[in-house]
């Protein structure tokens, strides 16, 4: 009887010590950090900034919670582990979302580039047809300079497309397209005027 | 005896365990607690600050808030490494509190700054826009080099890009593009301004020529034509009063005096209509031939010729007319003044040979023209 009591006391002490020794979920923390870094590298911060910020904040909240748990005598990381798995999934989802958004912007950029190329081809055709008389020479010289600037901008945007810099390239192409369209109208008007 | 020893061991063990338990409980109860709430508050405040754009508009406060938060987490981890009864979270607490306060401050500042920044950018866009619009019409008609037009176009396109960046809330990018746009526009503007400043040194002369022409029409109760090259206008005065005015087109290099044949410049000076031409005497519908070159033109030509500033064997040129065929929307003549056929009909009817024609650079001073063109 006394032996059993002694063994019981030792067991209580052993369980107490064991209970206070739950380990920090380092593997889960590393996995969550890696997933978020991957999403960031994919461009989440630029393409879906609000979502990125939310996931980053969730991870920060869990990391703080882990440290608070770590300060306790009886550490329990079970809930933190679950949350870390959840945030890792969110971060992976974030990467997927970023890729989708990036693809959308890329397509928009490609379409805009295609459109501007069509407008520029049309511009070049009309430029060749534009009245070459001395009446139009001065205006044509200016248009030629403007077309040159647009071509340069399109070239820059194409390079940006190749390097994955889609968002800033899109603004560039939109502005160039606006200018190319105005030149198209100008050339059409000049040709129509010459025909009259 | 053996039983007694066991009993004693058990009793001492129990006493030791109780004491250990009591000490442990006291240590646990009295040990320092981590500032979980403060850390959580700081993190939330940082999130809100970042959402408000503090990382862009209140960079310093936001960075300080982030550093304090990281420090709080560092101290929390460091204290957790120590044995529980030796832990002191006061540094962690202080940093968490500082982080919270700075993040709140950063958010407040970011909201104010972004609001002001947006307003500032709106104003800046308007400013560059109006600079461009006021300057555009003058600029386009100036005989400038292709590179200057390229700068001008680049500036216009950057302005359009900055507007897209503004719409997408990329305010920093918008600001950068606006600055670049202004640099390009201003560079071309400065070249144009230099050209105009040099040209307008002749303004007092133009003013007196125009005044004399109008005065002459009044005194002699006759017609007098005044051509304003800069505003591309022709004015017909009768008895000192404006009777008729119309739009005109000039030679490509319309700024400055005509010096030699083929320079595509429209002369400046006091001339007279020496012949009225009907079709087919002219290929430009109807024409009023002027007595270019006059004596001043000849003196200027000879002077430049002596200095070797007349290329090749270029002559002084002739056949400067006010003729039809205009309305092309460009300066295209070889130096003549072109009117639309409709306007030519009217002028042709109103004037005769011997009518004085005064061609001036501008009737307005450069400051009057540029009054609203400065940023």
A vs B, Cβ pairs < 8 A, gives: 118
Q: Where a domain ends, among B78, B113, B148?
A: B113
What is chain B's mean pLDDT, rounded?
A: 89
The owner of tokens 């497309």 is: A161
- B contacts of A136 (beta carbons < 8 Å): 328, 330, 332
Nearest to A142 among B6, B47, B140 (CB): B140
Digit-coded pLDDT (tens) for B190-219: 888 888 888 899 999 999 999 999 999 999
Q: What is the pLDDT along chain A (196 residues), one digit of tens a residue?
A: 556 655 665 566 555 555 555 788 999 999 999 999 999 999 999 899 999 999 999 999 999 999 999 988 888 899 999 999 999 999 999 999 999 999 999 999 999 999 999 999 999 998 888 776 555 666 777 788 888 889 999 999 999 999 988 988 998 899 899 889 988 998 888 788 766 6
Is pLDDT above 90 for B41?
A: yes
CA distance A171 to chain B (A): 6
Query: Is residue B170 domain-shared with residue B265, that is, in the same domain?
Result: no
CB contact under 8 A, A6 and B13: yes
Taking CA atoms, A144 is separated from A71, A190, B139, B146, B197, in Å, by: 72, 14, 16, 9, 27
Digit-coded pLDDT (tens) for B275-311: 999 888 888 899 999 999 988 889 988 888 888 878 8
**Cβ neighbours around B172 below 10 Å, total:** 13
Query: Is residue B75 domain-shared with residue B223, that is, in the same domain?
Result: no
Instruction: Domain ranges for chain A, please list them.
Output: 24-100, 102-195
pLDDT at A14: 56
CB contact under 8 A, A6 and B154: no
Is pLDDT above 90 for B251?
A: no
CATH number of B242's domain: 2.40.440.10
Q: What angle do CA A72, A75, A77 make, to 5 degrees?
A: 130
Query: Is residue B347 domain-shared with residue B226, that is, in the same domain?
Result: yes
Cβ–Cβ < 8 Å for A108, A168: no
Decide if B74 is inside a domain: yes
Query: Is residue B40 domain-shared with residue B162, that is, in the same domain?
Result: no
CA nearest A180: which of A106, A128, A111, A127? Answer: A127
Stretch among B175-184, B341-350, B361-370 having the lowest mean pLDDT: B361-370
Question: Which residues face B288 on adjacent strands?
Answer: B276, B322
CA nearest B270: which of B311, B344, B217, B348? Answer: B217
Digit-coded pLDDT (tens) for B339-363: 999 999 999 999 999 999 999 999 9
Q: Where a domain ends, among B145, B172, B200?
A: B200
pLDDT at B70: 96
Decide if B44 is inside a domain: yes
DSSP string over B198-248: HHGGGHHHHHHHHHHHHHHHHHTT-EEEEEETTTTEEEEEETTEEEEEEE-
Cβ–Cβ < 8 Å for A91, A41: no
> Is B175 strand, coil or helix?
helix
Q: Which among A171, A183, A187, A196 is the top mutation candidate for probing chain B, defined by the most B β-carbons within 10 Å of its own β-carbon? A: A171
CA nearest B273: which of B330, B222, B314? Answer: B222
Q: What is the 3-state secondary structure (H, E, C) of chain A?
A: CHHHHHHHHHHHHHHHHHHCCCCCCHHHHHHHHHHHHHHHHHCHHHHCHHHHHHHHHHHHHHHHHHHHHHCCCCCCCHHHHHHHHHHHHHHHHHHHHHHHHHHHHHHHHHHHHHHHHHHHHHHHHHHHHCCCCHHHHHHHHHHHHHHHHHHHHHHHHHHHHHCCCHHHHHHHHHHHHHHHHHHHHHHHHHHHHHHC
Decide if B330 is inside a domain: yes
Q: Where a domain ends, among B75, B97, B113?
A: B113
CA nearest B59: which of B95, B101, B113? Answer: B113
Q: What are phi and psi of B141, to 5 degrees?
A: -85, -5
Q: What angle do CA B62, B66, B70 make, to 5 degrees?
A: 170
Query: Is residue B221 domain-shared with residue B337, that is, in the same domain?
Result: yes
Q: Quick one: B15 exposed, middle or buried, by C-beta within 10 A (0-12, 13-18, 19+)?
A: exposed
Give the separation between CA A130 and CA A147, rounded to whole angstroms: 14
pLDDT at B375: 32
pLDDT at B163: 92
Cβ–Cβ < 8 Å for B359, B267: yes
CA nearest B341: which of B246, B254, B250, B264? Answer: B246
Helix axes B36-51, B90-141, angle to 10 degrees: 0
Residues 6+ away with beta carbon under 8 Å from B65:
B42, B45, B46, B49, B54, B98, B99, B100, B102, B103, B105, B106
**Cβ neighbours around B149 below 10 Å, total:** 22
The alpha carbon dihedral of B120, B122, B123, B125 has a sign of positive
Give the separation between CA B200 and CA A143, rounded to whole angstroms: 28
Give the separation between CA A135 and CA A139, rounded to whole angstroms: 8
Token pair for B216: 């002459």
Query: Is residue B217 domain-shared with residue B366, that is, in the same domain?
Result: yes
Decide if B375 is inside a domain: no
CB contact under 8 A, A67 and B153: no
- Domain containing residue B145: 119-200
Stretch among A30-39, B137-146, B173-182, B229-238 having the lowest mean pLDDT: B137-146
Question: Which residues face B242 on adjacent strands?
Answer: B237
Q: Which residues of A touch B (CB under 8 A)?
A: 2, 5-6, 9, 13, 50, 53, 57, 60-61, 63-64, 67-68, 70-71, 73, 133-139, 141-142, 144-146, 148-150, 153, 167-168, 170-172, 174-176, 178-179, 190, 193
**Count of structural domains, chain B:** 3
Query: Is residue B180 domain-shared with residue B217, that is, in the same domain?
Result: no
């Amino acid at each position: 009887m006394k032996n059993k009591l002694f063994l019981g006391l030792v067991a209580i002490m052993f369980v107490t010590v064991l209970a206070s020794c739950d380990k920090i979920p380092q593997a889960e923390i590393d996995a969550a950090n890696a997933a978020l870094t991957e999403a960031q590298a994919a461009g989440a911060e630029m393409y879906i900034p609000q979502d990125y910020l939310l996931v980053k904040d969730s991870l920060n909240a869990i990391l703080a919670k882990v440290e608070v748990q770590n300060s306790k005598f009886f550490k329990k990381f079970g809930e933190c582990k679950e949350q870390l798995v959840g945030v890792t999934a969110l971060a992976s989802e974030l990467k997927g979302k970023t890729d989708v958004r990036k693809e959308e912007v890329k397509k928009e950029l490609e379409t805009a580039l295609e459109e501007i190329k069509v407008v520029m081809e049309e511009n070049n055709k009309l430029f060749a047809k534009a009245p070459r008389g001395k009446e139009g020479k001065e205006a044509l010289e200016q248009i030629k300079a403007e077309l040159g600037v647009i071509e340069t901008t399109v070239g820059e945007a194409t390079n940006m497309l190749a390097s994955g810099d889609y968002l800033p390239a899109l603004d560039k192409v939109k502005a160039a397209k606006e200018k190319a369209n105005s030149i198209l109208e100008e050339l059409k008007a000049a040709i129509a005027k010459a025909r009259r | 005896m053996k039983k007694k020893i066991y009993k004693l061991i058990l009793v001492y063990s129990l006493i030791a365990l109780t004491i250990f338990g009591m000490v442990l409980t006291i240590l646990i109860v009295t040990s320092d607690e981590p500032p979980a709430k403060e850390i959580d508050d700081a993190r939330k405040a940082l999130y809100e600050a970042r959402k408000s754009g503090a990382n862009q508009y209140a960079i310093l406060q936001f960075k300080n808030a982030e550093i304090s938060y990281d420090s709080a987490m560092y101290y929390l981890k460091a204290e957790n490494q120590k044995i529980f009864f030796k832990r002191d979270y006061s540094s962690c607490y202080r940093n968490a509190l500082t982080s919270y306060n700075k993040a709140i401050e950063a958010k407040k500042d970011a909201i104010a700054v972004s609001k002001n920044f947006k307003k500032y950018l709106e104003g800046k866009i308007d400013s560059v826009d109006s600079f461009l619009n006021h300057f555009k019409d003058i600029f386009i008609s100036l005989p400038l080099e292709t590179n200057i037009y390229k700068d001008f176009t680049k500036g216009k396109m950057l302005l359009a890009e900055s507007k897209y960046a503004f719409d997408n809330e990329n305010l920093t990018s918008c600001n950068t593009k606006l600055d670049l746009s202004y640099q390009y526009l201003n560079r071309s503007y400065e070249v144009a301004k230099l050209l105009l400043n040099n040209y307008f040194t002749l303004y007092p002369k133009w003013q007196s020529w125009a005044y004399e022409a109008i005065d002459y029409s009044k005194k002699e109760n006759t017609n007098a034509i005044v051509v304003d090259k800069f505003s591309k206008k022709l004015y017909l005065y009768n008895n000192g009063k404006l009777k008729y005015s119309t739009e005109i087109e000039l030679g490509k290099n319309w700024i400055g005096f005509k010096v030699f044949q083929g320079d595509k410049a429209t002369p400046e000076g006091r001339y007279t209509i020496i012949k009225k031409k009907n079709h087919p005497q002219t290929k430009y519908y109807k024409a009023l031939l002027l007595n270019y070159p006059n004596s001043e033109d000849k003196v200027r030509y000879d002077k430049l010729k002596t200095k070797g500033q007349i290329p090749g064997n270029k002559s002084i040129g002739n056949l400067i007319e006010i003729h039809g065929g205009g309305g092309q929307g460009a300066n295209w003549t070889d130096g003549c003044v072109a009117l639309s056929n409709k306007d030519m009909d009217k002028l042709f009817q109103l004037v005769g040979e011997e009518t004085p024609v005064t061609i001036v650079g501008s009737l307005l001073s450069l400051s009057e023209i540029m009054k609203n063109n400065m940023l």
